[in-house]
Structure 1
Amino acid sequence: MNANKALWEKGDFTRLAESMRTSGEAIVAGLKITPDLKVLDLGCGDGTTAIPAARHAAQVVGVDIAENLVAAGARRAEEHGLTNVTFQQGDACDLSGLADDTFDLVVSIFGAMFAPRPFDVAKEMVRVTRPGGRIVMGNWIPGDPTLVAQILKISSAYSPPPPEGFISPMTWGVEKNVIERFGAAGVAESDISFAKDIYTFEAEGSPSDFLATFRTYYGPTMNAYEAAEASGRVAQLQDELEALFISQNTSTTDTDTRIPATFLRVTVNL
């Protein structure tokens, strides 16, 4: 099986996505989506961005490599009575099932950045976007002190070395890399803009409860715990991550957790 597909079909990312709904809706609200706009949500998960986009009356296609998340997105659309959004399985590195110049807006919030061939990802996003359209990415930033970058940094210290040729998804959080990748797809640097933004995770329960969601349902964290168990270091990993989640929590109550995380917003105008 495709290793990337196996990673995102592991566990149940929908359980983590529940903590991302409010920020997903806020991102969509800022995209100025108008009725009948054709939107592609690439690496859509179960529709955290696609469902709100469809509520704005856009014609939305969600593509994800994980079949279980595609099915979950379709169920959510049906539950919300949305007939203007469809979900399909696909690979961000090869969108051959989608025609050239199809979409007015291509969005990928913490999705396409995890695909293994970043230059192919940029090329495909440009190809399926019509002239005059936009591409908007949300990418985690390497070395950032906030939650997700630190989870991935800590987890990597307990995991086996990546295979030869592996390109870290965090490289999408570096502006010069983004410029190089879209430049290879024919986009001028002047048509690419960047801004740092905040994505807030909101979950019921304590920070320790929220960490348990990552440990139980989030593929990369599940892998880190499995590797730590094999080396007898689970307690150390747990302590590091628990300290991280507690220190990052901004909630003032004992009944919920709120953790903001900084990301790089990329806008490409074609």
Structure 2
Amino acid sequence: MAGETNRGTDRDAVADDRALKARHRALWASGDYPAVAAEIIPSLGPELVAACGVAAGDRVLDVAAGSGNAAIPAAATGAVVTASDLTPELFDEGRRLAGERGVTLEWVEADAEALPSADDSFDIVMSCVGAMFAPHHQATADELIRVARPGGRIGLISWTPEGFIGHLFATVKPYAPPPPPGASPPPLWGSEDHVRELFGERVADLSMRRRSVRMDHCASPLEFREYWKRNYGPTIAAYRFTSEHPERVEALDRDFLEFLTVWNRSDDTGSTAYDAEYLLVTATKR
């Protein structure tokens, strides 16, 4: 009887995880994340590729690659690139962009917490504001390390808790669906202590640098609020979660606009500027 109970518990855990990942896939398939990557943070992918030292012939895995904002620049170096993501709906735009650049790469549907790759498969494993959104951070870190070869490089860009995106999430959180049990907040990947704990002694040459990217795409905080509501999956999910309660939608609109107004660094009417801090991490697998 105990064995049957354990098997039942295991089946329930597997079913729960599949349901969780299905929700995550739907979240990132909503809106237009490729537009966000191209219009708001186009510089981050090439920066990560340069930080990892990607070169011709390197076997590269981009985890949670989205539409390829890092994978495509990596392929442009002559590297052999696999772009993996839980949300294959993003791949069509990625293939189109890769075609425009004249590069080829492999696109693979994959969960960052259970990558379909053998141990020690890649010279470089990287993720640009992608793997940080997998709910279980230790499982994700373990996979990033597992699939890198000994002596291979691991590179990450993650939003920090203290930065613009970290505060955006904090603003939206009271209106968003509750996180699943055991999930960690995505911006924790932008905390140096958290990264050290996740990687432990399995990496060497761990470098962590805080940098920022300026977001100045919209003319006003109100326009930028509507941009996030229209294009960014986590924001869309919060508004959907509150949609049956008009007073909460109104409160979210108010709080979101106030946040964007306070964080606007532009003094010029008709423009905005937001400096979004991120943590650039590079390491070598022992």
Task: Please give the range of the TM-score, normalised by the shorter of the 2 chains.
Answer: 0.7 to 0.9
Cα gap change, 1:215 to 1:129, in 2 (>3 Å): same
Shift of residue 222, structure 1, vs aligned partner: 0.8
Partner of 2:72: 51
Is the CA contact 2:52–2:154 (under 8 Å) kept in the aligned structure 1? no
CA deviation profile, 1:111-152 (whole Å, cap 9, x unmatched): 11111222221111111111111111112222x1x3211110
| SS class of match (1:148) | helix
The 1:26/1:160 distance shift into structure 2, 3 A limit, reads: closer
Q: Provide closer, same or farther for how the CA distance between residues 212 and 102 of structure 1 changes in structure 2, counting only shifts above 3 A.
A: same
2:144 matched to which residue of 1? 125
Determine if contact 1:4/1:116 at 8 Å carries over to the other structure: no
TM value normalised by structure 1: 0.87
Aligned partners of 1:94, 1:118: CA distance in 2, in Å? Answer: 12
Alpha-carbon offset, residue 204 of structure 1 = 4.8
CA distance in 2, matches of 1:208, 1:29: 35
Bigger Rg over Cα: 2
Please tell me whether residue 136 in structure 1 is matched to residue 161 in structure 2: no
* C-alpha contact 1:147 1:244 (8 A) present in aligned 2: no
Q: How many residues align?
A: 263
Choose from 208, 212, 219 the match for 2:233: 219
Query: How has the CA–CA distance of structure 1 residues 72 and 248 changed in structure 2, closer, same or farther, with 3 Å as cutoff?
Result: same
Q: Structure 2: how far apart are the matches of 1:235 and 1:5?
A: 27
The separation in 2 between residues aligned to 1:225 and 1:51, in whole angstroms, is 32
Relative to structure 1, is the Cα distance of residues 210 and 262 closer, same or farther in structure 2, using a 3 angstrom cutoff?
same
The answer to whether the Cα contact below 8 Å between 1:44 and 1:64 also exists between their aligned partners in 2 is: yes
5+ residue gaps in structure 1?
A: none
Which segment is superposed worse, 207-216 or 105-114? 207-216
**Poorly superposed stretches of 4+, deviation over 6 Å:** none
Of 63, 67, 73, the match for 2:84: 63
In structure 2, the CA distance between the partners of 1:256 and 1:103, relative to structure 1 (3 Å rule), is: farther
Query: One-letter code of the match for 1:65?
Result: L
Q: Please identify which structure carries the higher helix content.
A: 2
Range with bigger deviation, 53-62 or 149-158: 53-62
Q: What secondary structure, in the 3-state scheme, does the structure 2 residue paired with 1:233 have?
A: helix
Contact 1:118 1:181 in 2 (8 A): yes
- Alignment-mate amino acid for residue 172 of structure 2: S
Which AA in structure 2 matches 1:199?
A: V
Q: 1:182 is matched with which residue: 185, 199, 215?
A: 199
Q: How does 1:131-210 map to 2 (within 5 A)?
A: 131-142=150-161, 144=162, 146-183=163-200, 187-188=202-203, 191-210=205-224
Match of 2:53 in 1: 32
- The match for 2:123 among 84, 94, 104 is 104
For 1:17 and 1:50, how far apart are their aligned partners in 2?
A: 12
Query: Secondary structure of 1:62's partner?
Result: strand
Structure-1 residue corresponding to 2:264: 249
Pair 48,202 (structure 1): closer, same or farther in 2 beyond 3 Å: farther
- TM-score when normalising by structure 2: 0.83
Moved more, 117-126 or 201-210: 201-210
- Kindly state the Cα deviation for residue 255 of structure 1 after the two structures are TM-superposed: 5.9
SS of 2:257's partner is helix
**1:221, distance to aligned residue in structure 2 (A):** 0.4
Q: Given that residues 70 and 89 in structure 1 are in contact (C-alpha distance below 8 angstroms), is that contact kept between their aligned partners in structure 2?
A: no
Among all aligned residue pairs of Structure 1 and Structure 2, give the percentage whose two residues are the same amino acid.
35
Hey, what's the Cα distance between the residues in 1 that align with 2:57 and 2:267? 41
Is residue 92 from structure 1 mapped to residue 92 from structure 2 by the alignment? no
